[in-house]
Amino acid sequence: MASQEPRHVDEHEADLRIVGLGKTFVSPEDPSEGVVAVDDVNLSFRKGQLVTLLGPSGCGKTTLLRMIAGFEEPTAGDIFFGSARVNELAPNRRDAAMVFQSYAIFPHLDVFDNIAFGLRLKHLDRRTIQDRVDTVAGLVGLEGMTKRPPSQLSGGQQQRVALARCIVMEPRLLLFDEPLSNLDAKLRDQMRVEIRDLQQRLGITSVYVTHDQVEAMALSDVVVVMNAGRVEQVGNPIEVYARPASRFVADFIGKANFLEGRALDGTAIEVAGVRVDVPNGVPHPAGSAVTAVVRPEALTLHQTGGGSLRGRVARTAFLGSLGEVVVDVPGQGSWLIDVPNAAEVGLPGVDDEVGVTPSARSVHVLPA
């Protein structure tokens, strides 16, 4: 898919603008061969937005982040912070700070000195350093811990030190390279809430790299879905989840069922011989083959008759807050259906015949 153009952001409004950016890693053994890591990326974001670069391993998201930071040199294109082109600027001159996956805090320095490290390199006076470190320590929940060595901190507290060390520099741009991947699940949930809250309070434009779809949905103003070095879709979390631009996006973001059918007209498709209305529109001529996406929560399971489509239960799973039922639908393969409040309503048995009805407003027909 062609890289999407920046949406809704005029270049004069953009705090970060990426134009035709590319990166090819050339083999040292054979300079004629290279691996394209980032391919013709165009993006533009307003001040204060938190932008997530989301995609599988090897999609180019970390390389893109490192080019923004200045750790990798582009082979094509330009990077602008506001109106200033920063391609040739060294990382320490870009007014950006990065929170690394490995924390990268100094084990021989206490919390205060870790946070103050960059300020001392700027030769600020002692009182200014003290005030700024105290303020930031309070913001990230490290009050009363500034004299502790890193060895006495939990993983979450060490991540707060890494975050504070960046924030205290008051950067124009805050960059995150999968900063929560070393934390356990419960702490990840807590830290992403804290990061989002802090970023909103400070109003710092931020770019966040992750392969975790839930993390991207929870944190972001804008999600950039990448695949094989290119941008597949740019949008807010609801847009990329409910109206994916490609089969890849639909399959990568959450769980998806794919309905194969044909277009009847501009507002309906036929699936397994059944008309399914699509109020959001069908971008295909009548009679053409189409693929539609419907999420598991947008399919209703009928255990005692009814339903516009029929199938047989292949397997079930009780997950507490909901149940998951896989139904084999003739001509369509297997569909995953979420059953809310499964403890009360119960789940069907394997090989039971059931009905399935898609919510028309949640059926999204993919573009060609």
CA angle in degrees (0–180, nearest 5) for 356-350-269: 20
Same domain for 191 and 277: no
Q: What is the pLDDT of residue 3?
A: 39
The sheet carrying 309-318 orders its strands as 299-302, 353-358, 309-318, 322-329, 333-340
Q: Which of 220, 248, 276 is the last residue of a domain?
A: 248
Same domain for 240 and 262: no
Q: What is the pLDDT of residue 190?
A: 85
Q: What is the pLDDT of residue 2?
A: 37
Same domain for 283 and 234: no
Structure tokens at 316: 């079930």
Render 252-308 in DSSP notation, one character per residue.
Answer: HSS--EEEEEEEEETTEEEETTEEEE-TT---S-TT-EEEEEE-GGGEEEESSS--S
Structure tokens at 216: 């991207």
pTM: 0.88
Render 184-214 in DSSP notation, one character per residue.
Answer: -HHHHHHHHHHHHHHHHHHT-EEEEEES-HH
Same domain for 322 and 215: no
What's at 297, amino acid-wise?
Answer: E
Cα–Cα distance list, 156 to 187, 197, 201, 216, 250 (Å): 7, 16, 20, 19, 32
φ and ψ at 249, to 5 degrees?
Answer: -60, -45
Asked if the structure places residue 108 within a domain, the reply is no
**Which CATH number covers residue 36?**
3.40.50.300
Residue 367's nearest CA partner among 284, 259, 306, 253 is 284
Same domain for 263 and 354: yes
Asked if the structure places residue 115 within a domain, the reply is no
Same domain for 183 and 77: yes
Asked if the structure places residue 222 within a domain, the reply is yes
Cα–Cα distance list, 187 to 50, 51, 71, 176, 207 (Å): 20, 22, 29, 17, 21
Q: What is the pLDDT of residue 1?
A: 39
> What residue numbers bound the domain in which 238 lies?
14-95+171-248
Indicate the SS3 state at residue 171.
Answer: coil
Q: What is the pLDDT of residue 259?
A: 93
CA 349 to chain centre: 36
Same domain for 270 and 233: no
Q: What is the pLDDT of residue 12?
A: 66
- What H or E segment, with its residue span, contains residue 111? helix 111-121
Same domain for 259 and 222: no
**Which CATH number covers residue 312?**
2.40.50.100
Asked if the structure places residue 37 within a domain, the reply is yes
Same domain for 308 and 211: no
Number of domains in the chain: 2
CA 111 to chain centre: 30
Asked if the structure places residue 161 within a domain, the reply is no
Structure tokens at 93: 């001159």
Q: Which of 223, 248, 273 is the last residue of a domain?
A: 248
Would you give the end-to-end CA distance of the chain in angstroms? 11
Q: What is the pLDDT of residue 11?
A: 67
Q: What is the pLDDT of residue 8?
A: 54
Same domain for 74 and 190: yes
Structure confidence by residue, pLDDT tens digits, 354-364: 999 999 889 99
Q: Digits of tens for pLDDT over the chain (368 positions)? A: 333 444 556 666 789 999 999 999 987 777 777 899 999 999 999 999 999 999 999 999 999 999 999 999 999 999 999 999 999 999 989 999 999 888 788 999 999 999 999 899 889 999 999 999 999 998 888 888 899 998 898 888 888 898 999 999 999 999 999 888 878 888 888 888 888 988 998 899 999 999 999 999 999 999 999 999 999 999 999 999 999 999 999 999 989 999 999 999 889 999 988 999 898 888 899 999 999 999 999 999 998 878 889 999 999 999 988 999 999 999 899 999 999 999 998 999 999 999 999 998 899 999 87
Q: Which of 213, 248, 283 is the last residue of a domain?
A: 248
Asked if the structure places residue 284 within a domain, the reply is yes
Asked if the structure places residue 223 within a domain, the reply is yes
What's at 122, amino acid-wise?
Answer: K
Same domain for 185 and 38: yes
Same domain for 35 and 91: yes
